[in-house]
Amino acid sequence: MRKKAYKKLKSLLGARCLEDKLGRLQYSYDATQRMYMPDVVVLPESTNEVSKIMKIAYEHNVPVVPKGWGSGFTGGSLNVEGGIAISLEKMDKIVEFDKDNLMIWVEAGLANYDLQEFLEPYGLIFPPDPSSWKFSTIGGNIAENAGGPRAVRYGVMKDWVKGLEVVLADGTIMQLGSKNIKDVAGYDLVDLIVGSEGTLAIVTKALLRLYPKPEHKKTIQMVFDDMKKAARTVSFIMRNKIIPTSMEFVDRDAIMAVEDALHIGLPTNADAILILEVDGNRAEVEENAETIEALCKNADGVIRFRIAKDEKEAEEIWVARRTISPTLKRIADGKINEDIVVPVSKLADMIDASQKIAKKYELKIVNFGHAGDGNIHVNIMYDTNDEQQTKSALKAMDDIFTACLSLGGSITGEHGVGITKKDYLERQVGGDVMELYKRIKKAFDDRNILNPGKMGL
């Protein structure tokens, strides 16, 4: 059955249908480092081709997995059941730049960074800016409802996607949404597809809202003698009606790992660092920075407060946050990296729970991330050669999810469910909601060929 489908794909796409091992290997992994070989890889150049590919897959009942750049952290783009990997990499064009409405139609394979580069001369930005913006696509960002450091002020993908062109499992092409700021006609299928992890439809084009580039910004660094006090300061700032653009944090182990690796003079007596950015027009930025200084300079636990004088100093401050991931290898070779999220008011409780769990299992748990939206990157470090530690790390992860859910949090703030968290989704949303998800999935994809096995569907 599958062989017949692959033969048809080859005659449709020629050299853009990869069957050789080396070609397929390049599309067999993502940032989880897990590996599943697709049987074939197809590289369509148009929505019509995507539709034709899906018609063949549907007829022959072959699984299809949409792929962006494979930067996902949950195995969403892996061909766990073999089948077809459909990479949108050749569909990376700007389709229509609508300056009058501050909107843009782009193809789904465009890298987020390339979109930002395109917009720069026009004084515009596309606000969602995942840290992976240089190596992730708009299609992948939509499928994961990605967010970045600016999410505190500007929100996530869902807030900026106005319309979609999609191809359904049976090959039907659909246009969803519109350029209208207000549009409440019918179910909001755009919002349903954003964050659906490639399980409902393949996104081929997206209509995105744009925003004027903020005229000015300031970066602030606060060093704390206690991580929980840092966490409490985050909700203190919010309570005082200041919404920074970003509010990121790093804990003691993360500071030490970066300092050991780079020797950049990070305060080794610190238990946590908060990094804040405020942006907007000059007057607004100055006022917000002054208010934060007045509120926080002498706040409980603050041992150093600094506002960057220029871009160079701002960059120095950001290094502590941007370089953490690769330096964690210095702590241990094994890492379970989760991206839980809790209401900002519960951040200190979650940090407290994580510290207790680390003690219970005698493991190092390194926390850093997007404090301003309660999104914590929890890194459970363990020695992969130590069987006991490996088991403890998995148990610790389970405890982390339990603590997070009991605080009203979510098992994932931005990386999605994919395969790595599929067993936890029901614990969060409940059996009835899971059943509803399955019925929605069936309405879109009655043969279950679109990204099967993901999100527990």
Using CB under 6 A as the binding rule, whether residue 54 contacts ligand FAD is answered as: no
Do β-strands 216-224 and 17-18 pair in parallel, antiparallel, or remain unpaired? unpaired
Closer residue to ligand FAD, CB minimum distance, 202 or 350: 202
At 420, list the tokens: 């790595």
Q: Which of residues 307-346 bind ligand FAD (CB under 6 A)?
A: 325
Q: Which of residues 131-190 bind ligand FAD (CB under 6 A)?
A: 131-132, 136-137, 139-141, 143-144, 146-148
Rounded-to-integer distance, Cα 449 and Cα 428, Å: 25
- Report the chain's C-alpha Rg in angstroms: 23
Using CB under 6 A as the binding rule, whether residue 76 contacts ligand FAD is answered as: yes
Rounded-to-integer distance, Cα 316 and Cα 147, Å: 23
Binding part of the chain for ligand FAD, among 126-134, 268-276, 394-402, 403-411 by CB under 6 A, reads 126-134
Using CB under 6 A as the binding rule, whether residue 65 contacts ligand FAD is answered as: yes
Min. distance of Cβ 392 from ligand FAD in angstroms? 25
Using CB under 6 A as the binding rule, whether residue 72 contacts ligand FAD is answered as: yes
Min. distance of Cβ 79 from ligand FAD in angstroms? 10
Binding part of the chain for ligand FAD, among 170-178, 198-206, 237-245, 359-367 by CB under 6 A, reads 198-206
Rounded-to-integer distance, Cα 29 and Cα 18, Å: 16
Q: Which of 66, 127, 163, 372 binds ligand FAD (CB under 6 A)?
A: 66
Binding part of the chain for ligand FAD, among 36-44, 71-79, 172-180, 233-241 by CB under 6 A, reads 71-79
Compute how many other C-beta atoms are within 10 angstroms of the C-beta atom of residue 268: 10
Using CB under 6 A as the binding rule, whether residue 347 contacts ligand FAD is answered as: no
Min. distance of Cβ 33 from ligand FAD in angstroms? 10
Closer residue to ligand FAD, CB minimum distance, 62 or 143: 143
Binding part of the chain for ligand FAD, among 69-77, 312-320, 402-410, 441-449 by CB under 6 A, reads 69-77
Closer residue to ligand FAD, CB minimum distance, 150 or 232: 150
CB 256 within 8 A of CB 268: yes
Using CB under 6 A as the binding rule, whether residue 197 contacts ligand FAD is answered as: yes
Phi, psi of 110 (to 5 degrees): -70, 135
Closer residue to ligand FAD, CB minimum distance, 198 or 301: 198
At 100, list the tokens: 């009058």
Residue nearest to ligand FAD (CB): 68
Using CB under 6 A as the binding rule, whether residue 372 contacts ligand FAD is answered as: no
Closer residue to ligand FAD, CB minimum distance, 148 or 301: 148
Min. distance of Cβ 319 from ligand FAD in angstroms? 15
**Number of residues counted as binding ligand FAD (CB under 6 A):** 36
Using CB under 6 A as the binding rule, whether residue 414 contacts ligand FAD is answered as: yes
Min. distance of Cβ 136 from ligand FAD in angstroms? 3
Residue 262: CA atoms inside 13 Å, Cβ hemisphere, count? 22
Using CB under 6 A as the binding rule, whether residue 207 contacts ligand FAD is answered as: no
Question: Where along the sequence are the contacts to ligand FAD (CB under 6 A)?
Answer: 30-31, 65-73, 76-77, 88, 108, 130-132, 136-137, 139-141, 143-144, 146-148, 197-198, 202-203, 325, 414-415, 451
